[in-house]
Amino acid sequence: MSAGSLDKIVSDYYTISRMDISIVDRDFRSLSIRRGKDDLCSLLHRDRVAIDRCKESDIEQLSYVKETHSPMLYSCPFGITEAIVPIIRDGETIGYIISTVGIRSSSEDDIKVLCSDLSIRSDHIDRMIDSSRKVTDEEISSHFNMLQILADYIANDQSLINENESIGRLIKKFIKGNIAGKLTLNELARNLHCSTVTLTEHFKREFGITINEYITSKRMEHSERLMLSTDKPLREIATLSGFADVEYFSRTFKKHHGISPALWRKIKGKELNADT
């Protein structure tokens, strides 16, 4: 199975089920993800308390499945039904399927109570719950069974996608191609079809820095290249490097280099001329 075929299977599964699904390798590195752009999870992940609870729950459940090699259904800290299914080949777990199954109709009031101490406005939560797909116990059971069939299919294909790009490298690729554009976590999440929690956790684990730190470093590098290779004014360079205005660009540049971009450009220009 090629990387493209795994992505197609995940995309097709989401299209049919409308349930978020991701596949990760044995070290929980993302291989393929398909998520809706606007759902209750995305709303909850805007709150720091909610993110911390979700991370703690994810680690606990994944660790349990990793230890037992058994699929499991569980409720997240906010009452949303989720599933984790190991992908097992020759008795060895080589990856996992993770899916947000949905909201039980009977649990709507419980979800509102579980979300009551968050900073998110209650009417926003109510609206998202109302618009979310509700699932019956029978639908949950069927979805869980289909995930196990999908896990068996991937395992028997004889090649879980080790060559597929990790979520961290997908983030880097997107940033590189959109350095002058809007690069917030929410924007990245929408374009890569996964939660901000998934983005930040995978990127920090893979590269040891935050996404925002990486974005700033890449914008600095881009601005430096433009200053040395063009005669463009700083205001235009700031825009082309993704900064809101030249004043913010100057402050950020000085924080990183200790001098203003104009002075840096002058010094580096003299050094280049001296070397030629």
Domain harbouring 227, CATH code? 1.10.10.60
For the cut 80, the answer to whether the pLDDT of residue 117 exceeds it is: yes
Residue 95 belongs to some domain of the structure: yes
Closest CA to 96 of 132, 119, 70: 70
Q: What is the pLDDT of residue 4?
A: 55
Domain of residue 269, residue span:
211-275
Segment 100-120 mean pLDDT? 84
Q: What is the pLDDT of residue 165?
A: 58
- Other beta carbons less than 10 A from residue 225's beta carbon: 12
Residue 174 belongs to some domain of the structure: no
If one counts the domains in the chain, the total is 2
Domain check: are 119 and 229 in the same one? no
Identity of the residue numbered 254: K
Segment 204-218 mean pLDDT? 92
Q: What is the pLDDT of residue 239?
A: 94
- DSSP 3-state of 82: strand
Domain harbouring 63, CATH code? 3.30.450.40
In the chain, alpha helices (H):
3-17, 40-44, 48-68, 108-114, 122-131, 137-156, 167-177, 185-192, 196-207, 211-229, 234-240, 246-257, 261-275
Mean pLDDT lowest for which of 72-81, 128-137, 215-224? 128-137
- Model pTM greater than 0.85? no
Segment 6-15 mean pLDDT? 85
For the cut 80, the answer to whether the pLDDT of residue 268 exceeds it is: yes
Task: Quote the mean pLDDT of the chain.
Answer: 84
Domain check: are 23 and 83 in the same one? yes
